[in-house]
């Protein structure tokens, strides 16, 4: 399964797809990226005349790349047969340090902590294009192929 296959199996589509690409992926982690376009719907009201990406969207981006893409990769043999992965976010804890503005590219680095009984927990970090830490945390989810 290649990187494009993984992205095509994501259960999301525009305007709620926050994965532009995957740089690296292995049994132990993933690195991917997304560019927040200036015309994203959530910028219209968050905040007036000073748009900032909401923390919940940053968390979703980190979950899509750092948890879901990695989970699809880890379950690649089972998912190849079903082509319909089901994912449920079970918990997350995030710390935010810097804002993400429109037209900003972010990179997500995720390291697998544990993957057992189809439950995946990862330590995730998001960096901006200056390689500054934007946010970090732990995300967990359950997978069914």
**54 CB contacts (<8 Å, ≥6 apart)?**
42, 46
Task: Output DSSP code: residue 40.
Answer: -
pLDDT per residue as tens digits for the range 4-23: 999 998 989 999 999 999 99
- The active-site residue, picked from 3, 46, 76, 119, is 46
Where are the chain's structural domains?
3-144
The answer to whether 46 is a known catalytic residue is yes
Q: Over the stretch 43-69, which tens digit does the pLDDT of each residue have? A: 988 888 899 999 999 999 999 999 999
pTM of structure: 0.94
Task: Specify the fold of 3-144.
Answer: Thiol Ester Dehydrase; Chain A (3.10.129)
In sequence order, which residues have a C-beta less than 8 Å from that of residue 143 and are 6 or more positions away?
71, 72, 74, 75, 85, 86, 87, 118, 119, 120
What is the tens place of the pLDDT at every residue in 103-121? 999 999 999 999 999 999 9
């Amino acid at each position: 399964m290649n990187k494009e296959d993984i992205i095509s199996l994501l259960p999301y589509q525009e305007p709620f797809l926050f994965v532009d690409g995957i740089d690296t992926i292995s049994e132990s982690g993933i690195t991917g990226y997304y560019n927040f376009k200036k015309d994203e719907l959530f910028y219209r009201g968050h905040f007036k005349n000073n748009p900032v990406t909401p923390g919940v969207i940053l968390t979703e981006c980190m979950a899509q790349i750092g948890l879901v893409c990695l989970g699809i990769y880890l379950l690649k043999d089972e998912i190849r047969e079903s082509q319909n992965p089901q994912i449920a976010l079970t918990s997350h804890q995030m710390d935010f340090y810097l804002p993400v503005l429109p037209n900003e590219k972010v990179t997500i680095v995720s390291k697998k902590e544990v993957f057992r009984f189809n439950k995946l927990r990862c330590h995730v970090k998001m960096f901006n294009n200056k390689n500054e830490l934007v946010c970090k945390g732990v995300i967990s989810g359950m997978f069914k192929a």
